[in-house]
Structure formats: structure tokens, C-alpha cells
């Protein structure tokens, strides 16, 4: 994994002026860490940057949030949105979502009840119903509740499995999803087709779910926020500030 700022001349050579696409994760990529995920924001200077970039190249934001949620945070029209880690898209103003089986719908309903029970028991825990998926956020859990909470969560994980659903654990969030093939990798490939298969792609993301995208883009410029030995990404930046710095550089190469 190379530090992206040590390879800019090579990246510049590979970018075919306007024939490339930029795919971006939101949380901890564009938006700095917020203790409460409902408070995550897009810094105004990053918004302006993305707006300027979108005049030259195709841009998509691919996130675990719902389409409605991400649109409210980004507030830009001419970019493509992918929500729920690939289960829903908005391309050209039309939203398409994966249809859930009755079994998955029932399972999600059932797990939501359990999540709400946990929420009532512990402060600093909240439940996000994203319709196609569910998330239990516990970044603000009190330290003295941790062991009881973990025991509770373990029990629920078995039930998630029994309901035919899948769990993803990341950054103090337990997410429950249907067993669908869609992920950020399939979403990236779908979006690139919509963009008429650009010659190069830049994908920037920080988390576990972004690895699905890094994995399906082996020939492209994949950048992880945070260095890691266990990543499919080719490059890394250190933090969201450096993502911004990279986008500034990108805009300057397009302007020349
Ligand atoms: Mg992220």
C-alpha cells in the first residue's frame, strides 16, 4: 500500500483528463468522525470541491446510509447516490431499490424489536431503521455497561443468523442486512456501466464495506483512508483532511 501523495505523477499520467469517475464513501472519508452518526456532516469546503469536480467527471457517493439521508447531507444534484451499501440507487433522479423477500422483511422486523429492547436498557445506544437494513449504534455506550451489552449482542447475533439475515460489525455499529448479493463492489460496477465505463476509476473509502469495491477494481486507483496491511486498496491517505487535500489536487489537474 503506497502513500498516495508519493505517487501523484503516476496517478496523473493514468488519469485520462475527463474520462474517469470518482466514487466516494461518506462517513470517515468525506465526513469526519461524529460520535453520533446523525450528526455527521459534509464540511462546506469539501462540498464546494465536489461540486466543482462534478463539472468535469462523473461522481458517485456510495454509502451505508439511506439515499434520503445521504442526499440531505451532500445536497448536490448532479452526482449519483448509492445507499444501504448497494441495495438502493439514485441514477438520474430515479431511485431503484432491491426488493426484500418476505422472510427478510419479517426477520428485520423481529430484530428491530430486539434492538429496541436493547436501546431501552442501555443509554448511549440507538437504533437506525434504514428500511432495507437495520443498524444498532453504540459508540456512546457507557463503559460500565459494556460487558452486559456485549453478552446481549452475542445472543442477538445468533438470532440474526436464524432469521436468515447477515450481520456486519464495524466502528461500533452492528448492521443487519438481508442475504443479498449487493455490496459496494457490485454497486460500483453497476454505476460504472451507467457512467459508460470510464477508462479509470478513483475509489476512496475507509471501512470494511469499501473493501468489496477495492476488490472489484484491481486496475484502478483505490485509496483507503487509513493505512492497513489487510486491504485490497493500492493507496492510502491518513485521514479525511488528506482526502480533501487529494480532491484539491485532483481539481487542479483537471483545471490544467
Ligand atoms: Mg466510511
Pairing between β-strand 235-237 and β-strand 2-3 as defined by DSSP bridges: parallel
User: What is the average pLDDT value for the chain, to the nearest integer?
Assistant: 93
Confidence at residue 231, expressed as pLDDT on a 0 to 100 scale: 96
202 CA distance to ligand 1 middle (Å): 15
Q: What is the pLDDT of residue 66?
A: 94
pLDDT digits (tens, 9 = 90+) for 32-79: 988 777 889 999 999 999 999 999 999 999 999 999 999 999 999 889
Residue 132: predicted pLDDT: 94
Residue 246 CA, ligand 1 centroid: distance in Å:
17
Hey, what's the cell of 45?
469546503
C-alpha cell at 1: 500500500
CA of 150 to the centre of ligand 1 (A): 23
Within the chain, residue ranges assigned H as helices are 8-14, 44-53, 67-74, 102-121, 146-162, 184-194, 211-216, 240-254
Distance (Å) from CA 89 to ligand 1 centroid: 17
Domains along the sequence of the chain with CATH: 2-98+181-254 (3.40.50.1000), 102-178 (3.30.70.1020)
Residue with grid cell 455490496, as numbered in its chain: 183
213/82 Cα distance (integer angstroms): 13
pLDDT tens column, 197-245: 999 999 999 988 999 999 999 999 999 999 999 999 999 999 999 999 9
- Which residue is associated with the grid cell 453520533? 36
- Give the pLDDT score at 42: 95
The answer to whether the CB of 24 falls within 8 A of the CB of 63 is: no
pLDDT value of position 16? 73
What is the length of the chain?
Answer: 256
Distance (angstroms) between ligand 1 centre and the Cα of 26 equals 6
243 or 172, which is more confident: 243
Give the residue with greater pLDDT, 34 vs 134.
134
Report CA(231)–ligand 1 centroid distance (Å): 14
CA–centroid distance, residue 30 to ligand 1 (Å): 8
Distance in angstroms (rounded) separating the CA atoms of residues 150 and 160: 15
The alpha carbon of 256 and the centre of ligand 1 are apart by a number of angstroms equal to 31
Check: CB of residue 226 under 8 Å from CB of residue 214: no
Amino acid at each position: 500500500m503506497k502513500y498516495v501523495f508519493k505517487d501523484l505523477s503516476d496517478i496523473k499520467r493514468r488519469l485520462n483528463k475527463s474520462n474517469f469517475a470518482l466514487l466516494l464513501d461518506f462517513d470517515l472519508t468525506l465526513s469526519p468522525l461524529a460520535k453520533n452518526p446523525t450528526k455527521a456532516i459534509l464540511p462546506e469546503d469539501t462540498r464546494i470541491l465536489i461540486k466543482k469536480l462534478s463539472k468535469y467527471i462523473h461522481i458517485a457517493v456510495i454509502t451505508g446510509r439511506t439515499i434520503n439521508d445521504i442526499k440531505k447531507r451532500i445536497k448536490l444534484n448532479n452526482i449519483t447516490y448509492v445507499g444501504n451499501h448497494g441495495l438502493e440507487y439514485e441514477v438520474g433522479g430515479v431511485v431503484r431499490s432491491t426488493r426484500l423477500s418476505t422472510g427478510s422483511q419479517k426477520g428485520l422486523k423481529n430484530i428491530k424489536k430486539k434492538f429496541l429492547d436493547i436501546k431501552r436498557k442501555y443509554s448511549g445506544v440507538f437504533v437506525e431503521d434504514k428500511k432495507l437494513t437495520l443498524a444498532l449504534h453504540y459508540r456512546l455506550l457507557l463503559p460500565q455497561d459494556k460487558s452486559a451489552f456485549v453478552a446481549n449482542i452475542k445472543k442477538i447475533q445468533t438470532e440474526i443468523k436464524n432469521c436468515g439475515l447477515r450481520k456486519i460489525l464495524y466502528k461500533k455499529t452492528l448492521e443487519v442486512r438481508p442475504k443479498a448479493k449487493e455490496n459496494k463492489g457490485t454497486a460500483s460496477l453497476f454505476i460504472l456501466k451507467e457512467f459508460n465505463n470510464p477508462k479509470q476509476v478513483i475509489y476512496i473509502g475507509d471501512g470494511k464495506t469499501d473493501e468489496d469495491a477495492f476488490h472489484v477494481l484491481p486496475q484502478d486507483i483505490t485509496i483507503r483512508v487509513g493505512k492497513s496491511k489487510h486491504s485490497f486498496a493500492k493507496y492510502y491517505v491518513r485521514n479525511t483532511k488528506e482526502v480533501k487535500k487529494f480532491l484539491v489536487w485532483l481539481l487542479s489537474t483537471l483545471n490544467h
